[in-house]
Amino acid sequence: MEVRINKEIREYSENMFFGLTLRQFFFSVLGCGAAVGIYFLCRDVLGLEITTWLCVLGVVPFAAVGFLRYNGMPAEKFIAAYVKSRFLFPSGYLSRPESLYFKAMEESIGLRQGSFSKKELRRIRRREKKQKKAEAREAKKEAERRKRGRRKC
């Protein structure tokens, strides 16, 4: 006797009607209802061929919501996450190549080579402080933007 067990227990879904889950069955019925409604509204006006294509297009959203899953999320959760990440809380990523090793060792490398004077070292330290302050300001602005975005919702 063989018993099938899902690899992930959270992926288990009980089949209710015709081998479909309750969610799939519900959205299938809604899709069929939409197709029938479109058919009876458009068959006399647009003709049979265009009406059948409209029926197919009318069923697609219901089929997508009922059957599709992306990264374990149903369609409405995926759409909500997409809208949230793209439009409500977009974040710009800046890519600046930098050598962390050189930054850490810049002062000692310059001293070892004798290429930095005390004045140049002070300038380097001031530049680093300015960069840190600018990064802190940017982080603060980003945090404020996110807070404002959360209040709107």
Considering all CA atoms of the chain, what is the largest pairwise distance in Å, rounded to the nearest integer? Answer: 90
**In whole angstroms, what is the distance from residue 140 CA to residue 96 CA?**
20
**In whole angstroms, what is the distance from residue 91 CA to residue 115 CA?**
40
Its pTM surpasses 0.85? no
Q: What percent of the chain has pLDDT over 90?
A: 23
Query: Which pLDDT value is given to residue 8?
Result: 64
Burial of 64 (0-12, 13-18, 19+ CB in 10 A): middle
Domain ranges in the chain?
A: 15-75, 100-151
- 15-25 exposure pattern, b = at least 16 Cβ within 10 A, e = fewer: eeeeebeeebb
**pLDDT one-digit tens code per residue, 105-149:** 776 776 667 666 778 778 888 888 999 999 999 999 988 888 887
